[in-house]
Structure 1
Amino acid sequence: MQPFYIKSQRLAGFLMMRGFVLHSMKMDINSRRNIFLFTKSDELLEAIETYKQIKQTKEDATNGKSREIRTQN
């Protein structure tokens, strides 16, 4: 098993909702954030890329709406 560590709780939840198994969770002493341990695989990396694309699409949509509202005033 090759470990893959994640510090984002939202990403960890996204992965678990898609069937990836959370093996362990620990606290990072320096940042006081949770660290989530998954098994590294090609499927996991693809799911992370999907998460990034969804997140970027939502940010783009939010930013676009903000600009439209500002330009209409």
Structure 2
Amino acid sequence: MSKVHEYNVAMSCSGCSGAVQRVLGRLPEVEQVEIDMEKQKVYVTSSLSGDDLLTTIKKTGRECSYVGVKQ
């Protein structure tokens, strides 16, 4: 079952958010990625675990942390 996972991700430009979008977009289990640059938040709709998604976001070199499942 898919859930919406929330992350804090340090992004200063569209290149940063684009990198996050690209690495998550490569995962077939990711249904949707929503990025809020102003709040430095990334919301990922996926059946993967929060930790698996965090590991993927970390591949961009951005500082990030897992907030939890969005209610």
Normalising by structure 1, report the TM-score.
Answer: 0.39
Higher Cα Rg, which structure: 1
Higher helix share: 1
Normalising by structure 2, report the TM-score.
Answer: 0.40
Return the structure number with greater relative CO, CA threshold 8 A, min gap 6.
2
